[in-house]
Amino acid sequence: MALKTELLYYTDPYKMEFSASVLSVTKVSSGKDLWDVILDKTCFYPEGGGQPSDIGTINSIKVEHVYKKEGEVFHRMISPPEIGEVNCLIDWENRFDYMQQHTGQHILSGALYKSGYSTVSVHQGESVTTIEIDKSEISEEDLKTVENLANNIISKNIGLNFIWVSDKDLNKFSLRRKPKVSGDIRIVSIGEFDKVACGGVHTETTGEINCVKYLSVEKIRGHARISWKIGNRVFKDYNEKISIISTLSSKFSAKEPEIISKIDEILNNCQETKRLYKQLEERFISLRVKQMFDTTEKYNGVIFITDIFENESKDFLRNLVNSIKTDNKFLICLINKTSSNFQWIIACSGIDFPFTKNKQNLLPLIDARGGGKIPVWQGVADNFNGINSFFNALRDILVKL
């Protein structure tokens, strides 16, 4: 099927503005207010080969996505332009970013290939570009080798070459990987360093990439997936990290080389503070439990205890309940108030307290959520004014046992 649209992004990938004629406008069937527009020629690159589509405007109307289907290029828009001549504008910052990503990825995949790793898949994301390789891991030494080789190729400012060939002539080219398509195939060459079939848009020279920087490696589907910053993203990332380091240096009153040791010192102090806090909490809980059982109410031989705390730790109530060591039968209900809501916990021992049976009547008294099973139920609640009613309702149930 012959293309209706002339693909200007191949003849001039640096062209940002162009005029074209609208050939068709079709409302998307998804029900959203979106339209697919076909032009007689376009600079908008459609999504493909791991590279996202261009964005921009047609007659000042936003183009949200561009895709190719059955050989035709569709521009998805938020409202329809009129049939006829239109002015089109590419979002150049977005376009050039992905030209850097795509070309940088070719260089990195070429460098990986020369180090014994083949590229399985590529994803050019908004923040990082990832390359999945055919091995489950890659050493730090090899990563440094790949990064250095890629930056060396970038610094040589090698020109890229693009040619269309028939799939019958592919054996004349030493390609890094076998093409996934047939027919006329576009070969992208970076001097003698890398040759691969690709339909994406690229920079004219490797020097326009500026540099690449390895970030991290993760394992996925039995392969290593490497995350990279490429092009202007490296400088943006560097500036963000400098800002973070500067802020940390100021907050910790430390020079850059001293920041890590300063943080280690603070973390050690925090651990010691947590240890001391835990000791104090345990002592406080021990004293409070003794107080509770020294001043108790009893109903049918069961000790009934209620108590209210404020701004204790999130595990305080549970720790207190777990610390109770007694052979006496008891029912205890504790509250821990915070600024916005409060925790509640109910525990029993030596009795079969029917909380679950009465839950529907009890929880609304304090606008509570939560549950559990005998001997402990817990949750959070919002109605501070209902706490006494909650206590009284529990007492009434206990009295009737």
Q: Where are the domains of the chain?
A: 6-90, 96-238, 287-399
Per-residue pLDDT reduced to its tens digit, 271-282: 999 999 999 999
Return the pLDDT at 31. Answer: 65
Q: Is 34 exposed, middle or buried (0-12, 13-18, 19+ CB in 10 A)?
A: middle
Take residue 293 and report the two structure tokens written for it: 């059982």
* Contact present, 39 and 19 (Cβ < 8 Å): no
CATH number of 6-90: 2.40.30.130
CA–CA distance from 273 to each of 235, 313, 318, 378 (Å)?
A: 40, 14, 21, 28
Q: Please give the distance of CA 31 from its chain centroid, rounded to a whole number.
A: 29
**How far apart (Å, rounded) are the C-alpha atoms in residues 94 and 52?**
10
Return the pLDDT at 32. Answer: 75
Would strands 56-58 and 297-299 be described as parallel, antiparallel, or unpaired?
unpaired
- Tell me whether the CATH fold assigned to 6-90 matches the one assigned to 96-238: no
| pLDDT per residue of the chain (401 residues) written in tens, 0 to 9 | 455 789 999 999 999 999 999 999 999 876 678 999 999 999 999 998 778 999 999 999 999 999 998 889 999 999 999 899 999 999 999 999 999 999 999 999 999 999 999 999 999 999 999 999 999 999 999 999 999 999 999 999 999 999 999 888 888 888 888 887 778 889 999 999 999 999 899 999 999 999 999 999 999 999 999 999 999 999 999 999 999 999 999 999 999 999 999 999 999 999 999 999 999 999 999 999 999 988 778 998 999 999 999 999 999 999 999 999 999 999 999 999 998 899 999 999 999 999 999 999 999 999 999 999 999 999 999 999 999 999 999 999 999 98
* Contact present, 213 and 229 (Cβ < 8 Å): yes
Return the pLDDT at 128. Answer: 96
**How far apart (Å, rounded) are the C-alpha atoms in residues 106 and 108?**
6
CATH number of 287-399: 3.10.310.40
Take residue 297 and report the two structure tokens written for it: 């109410």
Return the pLDDT at 157. Answer: 97
Return the pLDDT at 139. Answer: 96
Query: At CB < 8 A and 24+ separation, what contacts does 135-138 make?
Result: 135/223, 135/224, 136/219, 136/222, 136/223, 136/224, 137/217, 137/219, 137/224, 138/217, 138/224, 138/226
CA–CA distance from 298 to each of 203, 280, 329 (Å)?
A: 84, 30, 10
Take residue 52 and report the two structure tokens written for it: 């996202």
Span 96-238 CATH architecture: 2-Layer Sandwich (3.30)
